[in-house]
């Protein structure tokens, strides 16, 4: 049996002690790899033939290799699951933010209906007189109609790429004209 880098790693790292081997297998592996004993020397110590020692060492080494492969696969699966968990947590957080936004929209719409006596008019962006840049900024924010303006807030608007001071002022004036408060 060839003493390769994997065998050396297994012995040095202590993996040999964590793998489920019988005591006799563990003893023979340690003697062969750590103490550099021959199969014949190990056979004399344990009162079995050198060929049987070789068989036991080879089988124990295979068993250990299989266990290590299983550990590697399980480790990779665990890493994949951790990644999926992070993705799910991020999606859950984004969903929670969306729900909070939607809840805020409903509250703002109810306040509008209470103060004006009628529901808010749903007018599409194309019907409003807005600059092309303002329309593009609102489309990036997924605002398709005046009704959707309830969902945006000051921070979202000001941090939107492509929204300069003039565009922000134009969108705020539009919201103010329809009595929508962008905070």
State the pTM of this model: 0.41
How do residues 94-105 score in pLDDT, each as one tens digit?
A: 888 777 777 766
For the chain, give every domain's residue range.
5-80, 120-177
Look up the CATH number of domain 5-80.
Answer: 1.10.10.10
pLDDT tens column, 76-119: 898 999 999 999 998 888 888 777 777 766 776 777 677 777 67
Q: d(Cα 117, Cα 9) in Å, to the nearest integer?
A: 78
pLDDT of residue 51: 93
Whether the pLDDT of residue 19 is over 70: the answer is no
Judged on CB neighbours under 10 Å (0-12, 13-18, 19+), 132 is exposed
21, 77, 160 from 74: Cα distances, Å: 20, 5, 43
**CATH class in words for 120-177:** mainly alpha
């Amino acid at each position: 049996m060839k003493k390769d880098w994997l065998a050396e790693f297994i012995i040095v790292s202590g993996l040999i002690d964590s793998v489920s081997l019988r005591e006799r297998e563990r003893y023979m592996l340690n003697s062969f790899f750590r103490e550099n004993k021959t199969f014949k020397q190990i056979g004399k110590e344990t009162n079995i033939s050198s060929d049987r020692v070789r068989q036991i060492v080879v089988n124990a080494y295979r068993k250990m290799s299989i266990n290590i492969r299983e550990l590697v696969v399980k480790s990779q699966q665990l890493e994949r699951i951790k990644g999926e968990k992070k993705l799910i947590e991020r999606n859950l957080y984004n969903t929670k933010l969306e729900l909070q936004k939607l809840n805020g929209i409903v509250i703002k719409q109810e306040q509008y209906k209470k103060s004006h006596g009628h529901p808010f008019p749903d007018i599409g962006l194309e019907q409003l007189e807005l600059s092309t840049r303002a329309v593009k900024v609102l489309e990036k924010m997924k605002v398709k109609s005046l009704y959707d303006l309830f969902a945006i807030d000051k921070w979202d608007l000001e941090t939107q790429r492509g929204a300069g001071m003039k565009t922000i002022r134009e969108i705020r004036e539009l919201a103010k004209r329809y009595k929508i408060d962008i905070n």
